Amino acid sequence: MTDEKPLIELERKIEGGDFQSAGDVSSELKRILQQIGFPPSFSRRVVIAAYEAEMNVVIHAWRGVFRAWIFPRYVHIEVDDEGPGIPDLELAFQEGYSTAPPHIREMGFGAGYGLSNMKKCSDRLEIDTRVGEGTKVTMDFFVRDV
């Protein structure tokens, strides 16, 4: 992150297993990005990556915290969860690989594209994971598509 002062800082809790509220945080982020007036294609990739990260916490973790710092031409997101962690990160990035249980798959998730899609949508993705403790996802997005 830069020393620049963000326009807006957002911090929200995410509960694991709470499918009723799943998506609320990303939805709020979308509204904020639209209000600021970011290009729609930029907002779209930020929001899709944020939603993938939010759903990962709801699906896999016990609880998490979503933080976003919104700058005039750049968005920084950190999603920090308490959860099982990711034992094999390389495998988790492989398209089609998923550990999601059957009831998640019935909802249409767990096809194994989450991490690779977050990588595709963001300009920088970092994952710090400790098995049995949790996972921290850090993403940066730069306005480049004007």
Partner 1 sequence: MTLREVKEILEADVLACEELLDREPKSACGSDLLSDVLAFTRENSLLLTGLTNPQVIRTAEMSDLIGIVFVRGKRPEPATIELAIMKKIPLLATRLPMYEACGRLYMRGLRGCSEVE
**Contact stretch for partner 1 (CB under 8 A) within 3-11, 15-23, 81-89, 123-131:** 15-23
Contact pick of 26, 56, 129, 135 for partner 1 (by CB under 8 A): 26
Q: What strands lie across the sheet with 134-142, from one edge to the other?
A: 8-15, 63-71, 74-82, 134-142, 124-130
Q: Tokens representing 35?
A: 């209000």
| Total residues in contact with partner 1, by rule CB under 8 A | 27
28-57 positions binding partner 1, by CB under 8 A:
30, 40-41, 44, 47-48, 50-52, 55
Three-class SS of residue 101? coil
C-beta of 4: minimal distance to partner 1 in Å?
27
Between 8 and 104, whose beta carbon lies closer to partner 1?
104
Q: Name the phi and psi angles at 122, rounded to 5.
A: -95, 165
User: Which among 103, 53, 108 is positioned nearest to 75, based on CA atoms?
Assistant: 53
Q: Tokens representing 48?
A: 């899709």
Between 89 and 107, whose beta carbon lies closer to partner 1?
107
Q: Tokens representing 96?
A: 């089609």
Query: Applying CB under 8 A, does 94 fall inside the site for partner 1?
Result: no
100-139 positions binding partner 1, by CB under 8 A:
107-114, 116-117, 120
Q: Judge whether 50 and 89 are in contact, CB under 8 Å.
A: no
Which residues contribute to the site for partner 1 (CB under 8 A)? 19-20, 22-23, 26-27, 30, 40-41, 44, 47-48, 50-52, 55, 107-114, 116-117, 120
